[in-house]
Structure 1
Amino acid sequence: MRLLGAMTRAQSQLIGTVDRQQLFDGLLDALLELGDSEYGFIGETHLNEEGTVYLRTHAITNIAWNEYTRKHFEENAPNGLEFHNLKTLFGHVMTEGKPVVANAPAEDPRRGGLPLGHPELRSFLGLPLHSAGRMIGMVGIANRPDGYDEKLIEDLSPFLQTCANAIFALRADDERNQAVNELSDEQQRLHAILDSAYEAIITIDQSGVIESINQQGEQMFGYSGEELVGANVSTLMPAPYRLEHDSYISNYLDTGDSKVIGQGREVLGLKRNGEEFPVHLTITETKVKDTALFIGMVKDLSERDQADEKLRQLQRQLDKSRFGQMIGKSPPMQNLYRVINDVASGDWTVLIEGETGSGKELVARAIHAASQRSKGPFVAVNSGALTDSLLGSQLFGHRRGAFSGAIKDQLGYFQAAEGGTLFLDEIGDISDEVQISLLRAIESAEVAPIGQVDTQQIDVRIIAATNRNLADTVREGTFRSDLLYRLRVGRIIVPALRERRQDIPLLAEAFLAEMRLATGKAMNPLANPVMHLLENYTWPGNVRELKSAIQFATIHCRNDSISLHDLPPEIQHQEVATLQGASKQSSLEQDIVLALEQTGGNRTAAARLLGMSRATFYRKLKDLGIK
């Protein structure tokens, strides 16, 4: 009876618990009771970079024997203690994958010794945990009064499978970024088990009568447990699922032919208020005293559908907020669009000024697209990337033999842009000699290729751009004032990203959409804490840096939602909230509150979103007084 009672409590821990630590602490308590043991652990096996196995605990008895070990346990146990010494009793379990029974550890040659002060080890049992044909962890218990034997190992077999299923399901959660079509049927089943553990778990008998439902299930469907236990599970199903359900079970029990057992599928659930909502349902079977018990794992897909709708709304919003390839609806961008339309209506030269990465070339392309030259070529030249001699040749062309290496006639950018627009980026970096030639070309609408005396008429609109203050360079004597005045007939100043923070969410989601296509990842929209950090960063690299940051985060993200620790380190470590005069601590408090709101109060998920360990997250909650 004690064995049955402990097993029942262990199963209830697995079915009803969503917190990992609470789950494994409960399993360890059951294990110690089943094994009549003084202390023990449940752990997961991993491989290090050299391929050597080691153990990280999910639950372990606190047997600290001095202040140092007490402090070490309290600081590290919540995240898992690691054990790498394989020349021990439990090390043999990991390397051989077989049980180790040691009823006289002091004389056992496999024993690796104990630290000074360690509690006495009178007997030890180590058992491997297997799932899908491979070892994924182990349990260890110690100091059973009468020692350990094969009968106990046999009795513990169902319990070990429960522990293995829990570890494998949690491991699947860490690998959820893998595409579903690459997963085996077993992995898909484990994903469904884990996902539903954070949502709803319902157990029914072979007649379809509900025997238990966890708190998440009550919240999901809007019933209390008392109302549902004893009712038929079809209460939670709309037609036609309600009508088909009983026939599925009876057909399976009669023939063994399953249409739903072990298979994950999308169906509709029915809430108490009559609302239908999409769910992912996985049904598994277990035996209790030779009687079939079915466990339904239910994940609410409403958030996914809401996320899809949010993406559609975002696309509509982006369509309304675009000007050419530029994105933004803030007042500075609305003003920029008006100026672009103004300068595009004529054919005069334009100087675009703005910081690096602010989108000056996009502005130039927008001017070209809105002008009467839109059907002509748009030729972009990075002036700062070319040497003086090469820049002259590239701009105006050259004749064969004009200089060493000129083996044939070559058209220049001016000729290539005939009838269209020539965009000269980094114009402030060209030499005085090229400035003179460029000024002459603008004034006369003629160019003379290097090595040719006669000039050629050109029909080209000039748009130049710079991230420098050309008025300062004129005063310094490095840029010609007459050229500046010729270029600055039309003048556009592109706002820095920090001057239009209102556009950051639009830009970030647009770049994330591009990365979905580029990587094939089904990324969720950015969570509030992540967006909060992006909106408060100074962005010295402007839009180009934001795009790079989203690309970086998407590549490094290991699941379907970007968290704070996926962002580039310079963004993670910024002094946030200085723009609002708030303290660093209040910003952290705001991020934590936002993370809890985003995850519906799930502290484990909130800690993961913020890139913190669970222990650190709980400590921050306590320090900041957040309930």
Structure 2
Amino acid sequence: MKKTRSAPIPDNVTEIILESISDGVFTVDHEWRIMSFNRAAEAITGIPRAEAIGRHCWEVFRSNMCEDDCALKRTMKEGTSLTNSSTYIINSDKKRIPITVSTAPLKSKSGEILGGVETFRDHSLVEALRKRLDGRFQIGDIVSRSDAMHEMLAILPMVAESGSSVLLEGETGTGKELLARAIHTASPRKNKPFVAINCSALPDTLLESELFGYKAGAFTNAVKDKPGYFSVTEGGTILLDEIGDTSAAFQAKLLRVLEDQAFVPLGAVKEVRSDVRVIAATNKNLIDRVADGKFRQDLFYRINVVRMCLPPLRERKEDIPLLIEHFIEKMNMVRGKAISGVDTEALHILMCHDYPGNIRELENIIEHAFVLCNTGPIQAHHLPDGFARQHLPSCEPASLTNTLNSTEAVAIMNALKQNSYNRLAAAKALGMHKSTLFRKIKRLGIFLPEIDGRSKPPQRD
């Protein structure tokens, strides 16, 4: 029987293995400069190897762990390996990528520590599944678990694809511009400009010149031609915010633009063709304004092809914990902090507030808390002056169950995170039996990572 000779093992077998695995792997020296960067690391971060090597690791990864809780730093300091730490990085497209990290010291044959090695795994698909399991829906910066928002966001892809005019209604601060941007981003026009104009902030003549442009000599100081937004946004989307506050004269001009897909710049005699999608937004009830003769009925029907109504925050209080988490994540990245959430007392206060300023008010409250809170969870005394002491209105009966469930879920998640997902330690911190905690986790649909935290003690600041 003829024997077959096996192929010799190549010298660079380790490099071949690292290049073939789906986990990102990189190494750093004692100055935290990247020495190697495998193909998966390039794919996950969006940063080419040639750009990554030689740079400090925090310049490449921009993780929330880089400032105060770097797993690789602990590994190199203590000489021990760490596994499955949850964090996130910001990739080259400025998108947040959830990852799990494992680290180990990089040693020579003699045992000398030369640097550190980190492997990381992209958990974007797992995170998307978790959001589906806990009822969360997210498009861009819009996050929600309320039924009313789900119904609206479920049709958003079809609305975006249609190219039709859209009317967005909702109180001030409910996120109409965010929704308009989401429609634009999901549409075939996504690679063209998006412009938002606040119609109530400009007088008619200035609003008309901003939108349609003007010719030299059209008025005093018009020394040269200036294109308007309908020209510079060609092929894109224009949001006309607070359209209900415009005058009858401007409404007539806008109606002609929408019907003829053409406009005449101030001082010009020839029409200019226009391919721009118009999204209108208002905090007024346009039907009432039509009935009162303050808004043209024909323009209303022209912009009201698709109508989307954003509910006020007081009617979707189950979204408050999600929005708080979203704002904290965003501000942690912007401010370079590591705020871990809000404590139970502060959350109760935030859940019971009526939010006349809606989501914008909630974001301002969290930003105020960030000024006063440097680490750990946001507490009641970090909230604006007098906010915690004001009379707290009772939650509406219809939303009481959702409010309590959301508050309880956030409190449990905070305890789990603070105890590295050790269920027994979290139960003790919450003052309940372990079996009670398990029942609540199941009832509230809380997603837990594969690790259970029993193999290592809780991380303390």
CA distance in 1, matches of 2:222, 2:361: 39
Name the structure 2 match of 1:346.
162
RMSD: 3.3
Q: What SS does the aligned partner of 2:181 have?
A: helix
Name the structure 2 match of 1:106.
none
* 8 Å CA contact 1:534, 1:571 repeated in 2: no
* Higher-helix-fraction structure: 1
Name the structure 2 match of 1:91.
none
What is the CA distance between 1:569 and its match in structure 2? 3.4
Q: What SS does the aligned partner of 2:179 have?
A: helix
Q: What SS does the aligned partner of 2:251 have?
A: helix
CA distance in 2, matches of 1:265, 1:569: 43
Q: What SS does the aligned partner of 1:482 have?
A: helix
Alignment-mate amino acid for residue 572 of structure 1: A
What is the CA distance between 1:379 and its match in structure 2? 1.6
Count of aligned residue pairs for this structure pair: 291
CA distance in 2, matches of 1:530, 1:317: 26
CA distance in 1, matches of 2:167, 2:253: 18
Name the structure 2 match of 1:447.
263
Name the structure 2 match of 1:428.
244
- Post-superposition Cα deviations, 1:499-552, rounded to whole Å, max 9, x if no partner, equal 221221111011111221222222122222222222221111111111111111
In the TM superposition, 1:271-350 aligns within 5 A as 317=130, 321-350=137-166
Asked if residue 486 in structure 1 is aligned to residue 275 in structure 2, the reply is: no
The 1:313–1:348 alpha-carbon spacing in structure 2 relative to 1, beyond 3 Å, is: closer
What is the CA distance between 1:339 and its match in structure 2? 3.1
* Unpaired segments ≥5 residues, structure 2: 1-66, 70-76, 82-124, 416-425, 432-461
CA distance in 1, matches of 2:187, 2:286: 26
Name the structure 2 match of 1:567.
383
Alignment-mate amino acid for residue 452 of structure 1: A
Name the structure 1 match of 2:185.
369
* Unpaired segments ≥5 residues, structure 1: 1-178, 182-263, 269-311, 604-627
Name which of 522, 532, 553 aligns with 2:348. 532
CA distance in 1, matches of 2:209, 2:178: 26
Asked if residue 389 in structure 1 is aligned to residue 205 in structure 2, the reply is: yes
- Post-superposition Cα deviations, 1:267-286, rounded to whole Å, max 9, x if no partner, equal 89xxxxxxxxxxxxxxxxxx
Name the structure 1 match of 2:86.
none
Alignment-mate amino acid for residue 155 of structure 2: V
* 8 Å CA contact 2:264, 2:270 repeated in 1: yes
Asked if residue 438 in structure 1 is aligned to residue 438 in structure 2, the reply is: no
In the TM superposition, 1:219-230 aligns within 5 A as none
CA distance in 2, matches of 1:267, 1:549: 41
* 8 Å CA contact 1:314, 1:506 repeated in 2: no
Alignment-mate amino acid for residue 352 of structure 2: N
- Post-superposition Cα deviations, 1:207-238, rounded to whole Å, max 9, x if no partner, equal xxxxxxxxxxxxxxxxxxxxxxxxxxxxxxxx
TM-score after normalising by structure 1: 0.43
* 8 Å CA contact 1:537, 1:571 repeated in 2: no
Name the structure 1 match of 2:334.
518
- Over the matched positions of the two proteins, sequence identity in percent amounts to 41
In the TM superposition, 1:85-100 aligns within 5 A as none
The 1:513–1:316 alpha-carbon spacing in structure 2 relative to 1, beyond 3 Å, is: farther
CA distance in 2, matches of 1:316, 1:574: 39
Q: What SS does the aligned partner of 2:339 have?
A: coil
Larger Rg: 1
* 8 Å CA contact 2:195, 2:229 repeated in 1: yes
Q: What SS does the aligned partner of 1:523 have?
A: strand
CA distance in 1, matches of 2:315, 2:164: 28
Higher relative contact order (CA 8 A, sep 6+): 2
- Post-superposition Cα deviations, 1:451-508, rounded to whole Å, max 9, x if no partner, equal 0111111111110000111122222322211111111111110121122212211110
